[in-house]
Amino acid sequence: MAHDLGFWTLQALNALQLSMLLFLLSIGLTVIFGLMHFVNLAHGSLYALGAYFAASLAAIGGYWMGFFLAPVAVAGVGVLLYSRLIKRMRKSGPMAQVLVTFGLIFVLLDLTRIFWSDLALAIDVPALLSGRVELLGIEYPAYRLFIIVLGLAIFAALAFVLGRTQIGAMIRAGVDNDAMASCLGINVERLFFIVFCVGCALAGLAGVVAAPLLSVTPDMGLQILIPTLIVIVIGGLGSLKGAIAGSLIYGFVQTFGAVLAPQLASVLIYALLAAVLVIKPVGLFPAKG
Amino acid sequence: MKRAILAALGLATSLAVPAAAEENIKVGLLLPFSGVYAALGNDIEAGFSVALEQFGSEAGTGFDIVREDTEVKPPVALGKAKKLILQDKVDVMAGVVSSGVLGAVRDMVHGAGVPLIVANAGNDEATGTSCSPFITRMSFSNGQVNRPMGQWMHDQGIRKVYTLAPDYAAGRQMIGGFVETFTAAGGEIAGQDFTPFQKTQDFGPYLAQAKASGADAVYVFYAGGEAISFVKQYDSFGLKADLPLYGSGFLTSPLYVNAEGPAAEGVITALHYVPTLDNAANAAFVADFQARTGRLPSEFAVHGYDAARALVEAAKTGARDRASLAEALRQVSFDGPRGKLSIDPATNNIVQPVYVYETVAGENGLTQKVLAELPAEADPANGCKMAPVSN
């Protein structure tokens, strides 16, 4: 099959779109890990919750109500999880944390099933973004462009906050050496709580933007968890640069793998993951060198 | 007061049960009530209950139902099947949604000689190389649903088709059935992709491939969450106008077509049942199912409905124990919501018509417009060797 330039542009945009979706998910997870050394496997479930909240809110007040309120609602769930569960698990070691948050996946999965039933829910693309846009000589769905732009905007905002503001400096200090940071008078616990909530909200946001593109089903959180973990392992734990690099690598390998070597599509990314773990076990851009 | 009522109730049931239990047929329902196919399991069970309400009185006996949740996990399902067979000592089992689960329980069921009415799982082997006189399928086989579409699409003037399906046994069998008849009719396959099963979030790369292939149409099989994502993404790229979307009818199943929304309009697919079929048996089924669940029945619901109906028909012949029920189930035949159904004694698979339908906008959301009824054909034996019916 002969492919013209438009075909490759289209695929590059597809790759970028998938990358941005994964970036929204992985950034929260990776910074939570970097700062708190806390593995929150239930992060995918928060993404699913975001999609469900958005679907319910969209049924009342349209897409944009879901878009703005669902991440807040997911952050609320994050507050609840933090104060009831995660605070107690802070000092209990990674194995116990993995087990608890893994169990949390199933609890949240069954709660979504009880509240929203097993049937898939619908959420429509908002009218503003429903068409296609002429771009670089091809037509591309406006909603997918919106995801790309949103991802880049969030990246820019986070890069600014982490790199240029006082709270960003505090977070970086906390990631680097939390004991020293608290000696210097930074309230690491409170910082941790804020980061956790923001991470949850971003996971919820990812759920909201993914919902019109994918289906809203109870197991959507489980399906996205593995790609997210691959992203942060490739990118390196705890860093913004790692999350964006990992997401881009995942998105492009997955998309172009599907085009160039469809038989290998599902293996390629795991092969890459293995290669990264062998050559650079800490990932490409870890927060701590 | 409350306690007194409860006690009275308990007494009443404990008195009532032993009298009836001697006669009743004990049925084990083996369905997923949790896991990815929970929605299907619930639909099948609802259909099963509706049929027992409608026809149960004709059976000449009562039915005791024991439900077990397979969780869509083959090892769990095997354990539950053992429990039903050895501990509950059921006379007959019905259910099984996933082909993986069917594969896991097959030898147990066959070895114990317990009749199993399959109410969904479609893998071709179940009524092919690993067929069993104790396993009767009232749902469909993967090839059966798709085979008639090859000739039909060729008759509509479509010559070049691009196919897409998830990369697992059912995906390959569904597409295989279509490709076989479409190429036999003189059509050409412009290209094929099998996407990683339940790992594909973005179908964009594959859609761009299909578009670039120069095909007249795209033929796909997707089900559940993947079907919803696929149909929406297909529409968002604006492909529907130039490259019409065809497929196996699970793509736009009434169970989740409303989650696909307007994106599903104009998609043409083939399936053995849609709720808009115009016959008396279907009208009665749809009315009772809606009264029970508030939803239109899906093809999954009709599997459960007809599984229970087949059981009633078998019981009518006087069959009561495992062996006689198995023999009677192989000879079942009746007019149901899907039209005239019978069991092919060579494979124990159902023989049923297949309907081509278009998803169109109706008064209350999306509905199914039947375009053609393709005649019922028995599956080829596919290596199934089974003793003929004996009685």
Q: Contact at 8 Å (CB) between A278 and A65?
A: no
CA dist., res. B51 & res. B66, Å (int): 16
Which of B202, B229, B256 shows the shortest C-beta gap to A14? B202
Q: What is the pLDDT of residue B10?
A: 52
ipTM of the complex: 0.85
Min Cα–Cα distance to chain A from B71, Å: 13
Has residue B256 got a pLDDT over 80?
yes
User: For chains A and B, what is the number of CB pairs under 8 angstroms?
Assistant: 111
Token pair of B169, please? 């046994």
B133-168: b (≥16 Cβ within 10 Å) or e: bbbbbbbbbbbbbbbbbbbbbbeeebeebbbbbbbe
Q: What is the pLDDT of residue B18?
A: 43
pLDDT > 90: what percent of chain A? 36
Has residue B305 got a pLDDT over 60?
yes
Q: What is the pLDDT of residue A288?
A: 63
Condensed to tens digits (0 to 9), the pLDDT of residues A102-148 reads 999 999 988 998 888 888 887 888 888 888 888 777 888 999 999 99
Q: What is the pLDDT of residue B6?
A: 55
- Tell me the mean pLDDT in the region B277-299: 93
Domains of chain B and CATH, by start: 2-140+278-351 (3.40.50.2300), 143-271+355-374 (3.40.50.2300)
Radius of gyration in angstroms for the set of CA atoms belonging to chain A, rounded to a whole number:
19
A123, A209, A217: best to mutate for the B interface, most B CBs within 10 A: A217
Token pair of B64, please? 């005791």
Q: What share of chain B is helix, strand, coil (3-state, %, to 5)?
A: 45, 20, 35
The residues, any chain, with a CB within 8 Å of residue B18's CB and separated by 6 or more, are none
- Tell me the mean pLDDT in the region B56-84: 92
Please identify, in words, the CATH class of the domain defined by A17-279: mainly alpha
- Tell me the mean pLDDT in the region B60-85: 92
Which of B36, B196, B205 shows the shortest C-beta gap to A255? B205
Has residue B301 got a pLDDT over 90?
yes
Q: Contact at 8 Å (CB) between B47 and B300?
A: yes
Give the 3-state secondary structure of residue B247: strand
Q: What is the pLDDT of residue A67?
A: 92
Min Cα–Cα distance to chain A from B236, Å: 6
- Tell me the mean pLDDT in the region B119-130: 89
Min Cα–Cα distance to chain A from B315, Å: 33
Condensed to tens digits (0 to 9), the pLDDT of residues B7-22 reads 555 544 444 444 444 5
Has residue B2 got a pLDDT over 60?
no
Condensed to tens digits (0 to 9), the pLDDT of residues A223-268 reads 888 899 999 999 988 788 899 999 999 999 989 988 888 778 778 8
- Tell me the mean pLDDT in the region A55-60: 89
Instruction: Give contacts of B213 with chain A, Cβ < 8 Å.
Output: 1
Min Cα–Cα distance to chain B from A85, Å: 25
CA dist., res. B32 & res. B50, Å (int): 18
* Per-residue pLDDT band at B385 (split at 50, 70, 90): confident
* Per-residue pLDDT band at B4 (split at 50, 70, 90): low
Q: Taking the domains of chain A in order of start, what are their residue ranges?
A: 17-279
Has residue A221 got a pLDDT over 60?
yes
A 149-208: CB under 8 A from B = none
- Tell me the mean pLDDT in the region A4-24: 89
